[in-house]
Structure 1
Amino acid sequence: MTTPTRPQADRPPFLDKTNPDVFAALGDVAGQVSDACEAAGLDRVDIELLNVAISQRNGCAYCTDLHTRRARKAGADQQLLDALPVWGESALFTDRQRAILDLGLTITSLPSPRRRRRAIRAGRRHLTVDQLAAVEWSAILMNAFNRVSIMSEHPVKRRSTPKNKG
């Protein structure tokens, strides 16, 4: 991440500040995707868990921080957030959440056609066509936002200092 001693020439531009109209258009797409998720009956917690998982996979600290907070605000409990990196091994997640996470992370990694088809088949067992499409759009969009934040090196600011409860 950016440090105070780093030369200005080495710092990338904040893409959202350099091209605000482009970033605003991406925000408009985010609104449409959110509307599609809601219209399809997807739970906001499940979509935010997906956003966190994708951001973790991509190594986007800013988006991981943002969507972890949004997941909590939507009602996700801390145990679920803590288990997210190992969702495939955890019994805490529903079959539907597993299908959402599998499909979204498949989109993130862009594996072989065989693996993509397997994720879609699994998704169809737990999601309607509209839900499946909304999850796909959510994953595509989260990957786009991750890349904007990673390439801009958006910093994560500490909101409070945790107390050591050792």
Structure 2
Amino acid sequence: MKPRMNAFAAAPALMKEMIDFSMKVQGSGLEASLMELVKIRASQINGCAMCLHMHALEARKQGETEERLYLLSAWRESPLFTDRERAALAWTEALTLVSQTHAPDADYAAMRAHFSEEESVKLTLLIGVINSWNRVQIGFHAVHPVVSRSEAA
């Protein structure tokens, strides 16, 4: 895949604002591990290779296990995720696929059972931010760093 453009070069001031907002949401106080799971799950749904690459690496740096990363797309069938993580992942899916789901009451209620009102806003903004990044990266065909098989071995 060939990149279409570099959004950071084309609109640096606006992209800096996006980064600044992303950093504010990242520093909002939700658990770092939960935030990475949410970002990875939304990026899986959207098919954003750049974001999957970035957030899987970050999750690993924070101590996330390979097993949980492998099973994230099937989190409903795995006992490895906490009830709080499950609620966040269900809300992530509902909002990432909002044109299909319309944010069902059941997913909202499940999320609210584990998140305060303030945390609910933080989580919802996090989901919005990663979906925005997915659209920027996919839309402009951003290419993730590539390590050759020989270098990876």
Matched residues, number: 150
Give the match for residue 40 of structure 2: 52
User: How far apart are residue 117 of structure 1 and its match?
Assistant: 2.1
User: What is the DSSP-based 3-state SS (H/G/I as helix, E as strand, rest coil) of the residue aligned with 1:123?
Assistant: helix
CA contact (8 A) 2:35 2:126 kept: yes
Q: Is it true that 1:21 corresponds to 2:9 in the alignment?
A: no
CA contact (8 A) 1:99 1:126 kept: yes
Q: Is it true that 1:108 corresponds to 2:91 in the alignment?
A: no
CA contact (8 A) 1:60 1:150 kept: yes
Give the match for residue 31 of structure 1: 23
User: How far apart are residue 70 of structure 1 and its match?
Assistant: 0.8
The amino acid across from 1:62 in the alignment is M
Work out the CA distance in 2 between the residues paired with 1:82 and 1:112. Answer: 25
Give the match for residue 67 of structure 1: 55
**Aligned-residue CA RMSD in angstroms?**
1.4
- Kindly provide the CA deviation profile for residues 48-104 of structure 1, in whole angstroms up to 9, marking residues without a partner as x: 011011011001000000000111112211111010010111111111000011111
The match for 2:64 among 61, 76, 86 is: 76
TM-score when normalising by structure 1: 0.85
CA contact (8 A) 1:107 1:116 kept: no
Q: In terms of Rg, which structure is larger?
A: 1
Q: Is it true that 1:150 corresponds to 2:138 in the alignment?
A: yes
Work out the CA distance in 2 between the residues paired with 1:160 and 1:100. Answer: 34
The amino acid across from 2:90 in the alignment is D
